[in-house]
């Protein structure tokens, strides 16, 4: 299993627009065959910090995800909402 955590810091005042923007990514990702779970959260104690927690069946599922239109659209537009580059943590769990 592949686990990916992404920490995102959104510009103050852009939270609602960001949340609307990311809905397509979350819903599209959840529908992918190799997706185990895909969740997006606003962090506790912060109005502007968010996290994506992804669980994928295997590396092939992640590679497929990275080529989807909803992921490419996210990559192309997410920078408009952020105060800094996302922090990405990748973990590999063998079952």
What CATH number does residue 18 fall under? 3.30.70.100
Question: CA 10: distance to chain centroid?
Answer: 13
Residues 6+ apart with CB under 8 A from 9: 48, 49, 50, 82, 83, 84
Question: Measuring CA to CA, how many Å separate 14 from each of 18, 52, 59?
Answer: 6, 17, 33
Total tally of structural domains belonging to the chain: 1
Which residues sit opposite 2 in a β-bridge? Answer: 56, 92
Q: Model's pTM, two decimal places?
A: 0.91
pLDDT of residue 40: 98
Q: What domain range includes position 86?
A: 2-92
The CA distance from 57 to 66, in Å, is 14
Q: What is the mean pLDDT of each run of 10 residues along the chain (95 residues)?
A: 97 98 97 97 96 97 97 97 97 81
């Amino acid at each position: 299993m592949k686990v990916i955590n992404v920490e995102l810091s959104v510009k103050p005042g852009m939270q609602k627009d960001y949340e609307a923007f990311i809905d397509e990514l979350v819903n599209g990702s959840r529908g992918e065959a190799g997706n185990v779970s895909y969740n997006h959260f606003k962090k506790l104690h912060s109005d502007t910090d968010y996290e994506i927690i992804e669980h994928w069946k295997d590396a092939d599922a992640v590679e497929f995800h990275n080529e989807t239109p909803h992921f490419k659209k996210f990559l192309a537009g997410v920078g408009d909402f952020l105060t800094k580059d996302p922090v990405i943590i990748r973990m590999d769990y063998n079952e």
